[in-house]
Amino acid sequence: MACPSFGIARAFVPGRRSGIAVPAAVAFVLKGYPRLSETFIAQEIRGLEQRGLDIRLFSLRLPTDPAVHPIHDEIKAPVTYLPEYLHEQPRRVLRGWRKARRLSGWSSAWRSFLADLRRDISRNRARRFGQAMVLAAELPQDVGWLHAHFLHTPASVVRYAAQLLGLPWSASAHAKDVWTTAEWDLREKLKDCRWLVTCTKVNALYLASLAPAPDRVTLLYHGLDLNRFLPPAGRRPARNGGNPDDPVMLLSVGRAVAKKGFSELLQALALLPTDLAWSLVHIGGGPLLGDLKRQAARLGIDRRIQWRGALPQQDVLHAYRISDLFVLACRIAEDGDRDGLPNVLMEAQSQGLACVSTDVSAIAELIIDGETGILVSPDDARMLSRALHRLIRFPDYRARLGLAGMHRVRQFFSADRDIGWLAARFGIEPAPFSRCASPSTPR
C-alpha cells in the first residue's frame, strides 16, 4: 500500500521541497508537558521541528516534574496550558463557550459530546469538552491540523475541537491509552481521525481491528535519537556477585506504578542467595514509591537498594553506563494498563547493557530471548530471580547479550527514519520509503 498524502484545509505555506503543501502550523495536544517520563514525545517534536514543521503545543495539565531533559530546552514550540479543572478558570471557559457556539461545527461537536456522555457519564467527559471549547477558541489562525499524543483524554479534546473548527486531525497511540480506553471510544476516534500511528505491533493489530479501514493505523516505533545515545567507551568490569565490596550493579528505570512490576522485582531479589553480592538503583517517581520502600524493608533488602527518584536524561544515561544489568519486570495491571515498548529498554540496550524483562505486550518485538536479552513470564518472581541469578554470576554472558542488544537497537530502532515518516505524513517531506508500515508488515 503506497503511503497516502493528506491535504490540510485551513492554512498552507509553500513547501520547500518539490512543491509540497505544508501546513502553516500543527497543534500537538498532550496530557502533560514537559514530562520526564515522555522523552520519546519530546524527541519526536524536536525532530519534526528540525525538519521544518511549525508546532504549537497545548497541554491538558501543568508540569509536575521538578526538572526537564536537555531536549525540552531545545524545543522551540510555544506551550499553552488549557484549564486542567474548568472551575479554576471559569472566565476562560465561558469565553471559550461563547466563541465555540458561533463556530460552524458546534452542532456536530455537541452531538458527538452528548452521544459520548450517554455512554460515559463522568466529570472527566465534561471536562474534555470544556477544554476542547477553550482550545478551539484560542487556537491560532495559522494552525491547520491537530494532533493528539495519547488516544484517551488528549484525543477526546482534539476530536471535539476538530469538529468545532472543521479541521483534520491525527493521533499517536502508545500504551495505557490503548488498553484502558473503552472499545466504543476507540472506534469513534478511529472513525473520525485521518490517520493514527502507534508504537507496537500488538497495538497496531488491535486498533486496526477497530478501525473503519485497517490502513488508517500504522505501526511506527519511536526509536532512539542515537546521536544522544552514543556507544559506551570501554568494557564493563567483570563483576560476578562474589565480592560484597564490589556488588553487581542492577538498574531499573520507570515510574512506580503497577504495570512496571517493581513489587514482583523486589520479590525476585529477595529470593536470591543471601551471599550473592548485588545492589539495585531505581530511577523514577510514581505513586507506589512509598509502598515499594516499605516492601523492601519487610523483605530485608532495603539496604541494597537506592531510590533515586525522577532524574533528567543525562543522569539516567550515566546510570546506564556504570551499571552491569538492567531489569524491568513489566506486567498487565488489574485495570488492563500495560507498557507498549518501554523506551528505557532501548536506551539501556543502546549502551550495551544486558536486559532482563518480561514477554508482555511488545517487548518481544525488541528483545529476542536468549539472543539480545532475557525474557521471563510476568508475575513470576521465581523465574525472574533465576534469570537474575544467572546473569549476576556470569559477566561474560551479560557482555554477549549486551553487545547483541546494542547492535539490534542501532540497526532497527533509530528515530530518524520514523520521524522522517511522520514528516511525510504532515506534508513537509517526501515519503522516505515506498511502503507504509502496516500492522501486518513487520519492519
**Do strands 248-253 and 217-219 pair parallel, antiparallel, or not at all (unpaired)?**
unpaired
Run of H or E including 26? strand 25-30
Question: Do 255 and 197 reside in the same domain of the chain?
Answer: no
Question: Do 19 and 90 reside in the same domain of the chain?
Answer: yes
**Residue holding cell 503543501?**
21
Mean pLDDT score, 385-395: 98
If one counts the domains in the chain, the total is: 2
Please report whether residue 240 resides in a domain.
no
My answer on whether omega of the bond before 439 falls inside 30° of 0, hence cis, is no
pTM of the shown model: 0.77
Strand runs (DSSP E) across 199-253, as ranges? 217-219, 248-253
Question: Do 183 and 98 reside in the same domain of the chain?
Answer: yes
**Residue holding cell 486496526?**
208
Q: What is the pLDDT of residues 71-84, one digit of tens each?
A: 888 999 999 999 99
Question: Do 185 and 273 reside in the same domain of the chain?
Answer: no
C-alpha 206/C-alpha 204 separation (Å) is 5
Task: Give residue 139's domain range.
Answer: 12-223+414-425
Q: Is the pLDDT of residue 9 over 70?
A: no
Please report whether residue 182 resides in a domain.
yes
Mean pLDDT score, 210-229: 91
Q: Is the pLDDT of residue 70 over 90?
A: no
The one-letter code for the residue type at 271 is: L
Please report whether residue 436 resides in a domain.
no
* Coil, helix or strand at residue 194: coil
Closest CA to 43 of 269, 226, 270, 205: 226
Question: Do 218 and 268 reside in the same domain of the chain?
Answer: no
List Cα–Cα distances, 312 to 36, 66, 75, in angstroms. Answer: 7, 9, 16
Question: Do 252 and 174 reside in the same domain of the chain?
Answer: no
Lowest mean pLDDT across 165-169, 204-208, 426-430? 426-430
C-alpha 390/C-alpha 418 separation (Å) is 36
Question: Do 134 and 47 reside in the same domain of the chain?
Answer: yes
Please report whether residue 282 resides in a domain.
yes
Question: Do 165 and 73 reside in the same domain of the chain?
Answer: yes
Q: What is the pLDDT of residues 310-348, one digit of tens each?
A: 998 899 999 999 999 999 999 999 988 888 889 899 999
Please report whether residue 214 resides in a domain.
yes
DSSP per-residue letters across 301-320:
-GGGEEEEES--HHHHHHHH
Please report whether residue 88 resides in a domain.
yes
Question: Do 161 and 277 reside in the same domain of the chain?
Answer: no
Question: Do 293 and 154 reside in the same domain of the chain?
Answer: no
Question: Do 131 and 262 reside in the same domain of the chain?
Answer: no
Please report whether residue 79 resides in a domain.
yes
In this prediction, residue 361 has a pLDDT band, given cuts at 50, 70 and 90, of confident
CATH code of the domain in which 367 resides: 3.40.50.2000
Contacts of 317 (CB under 8 A, 6+ apart): 228, 229, 347, 351
Q: Is the pLDDT of residue 434 over 80?
A: no
Please report whether residue 349 resides in a domain.
yes
Q: Output the furthest CA–CA distance in the chain (Å, rounded).
A: 73
Question: Do 107 and 162 reside in the same domain of the chain?
Answer: yes
Q: What is the pLDDT of residues 168-194, one digit of tens each?
A: 999 999 988 999 999 999 999 999 999
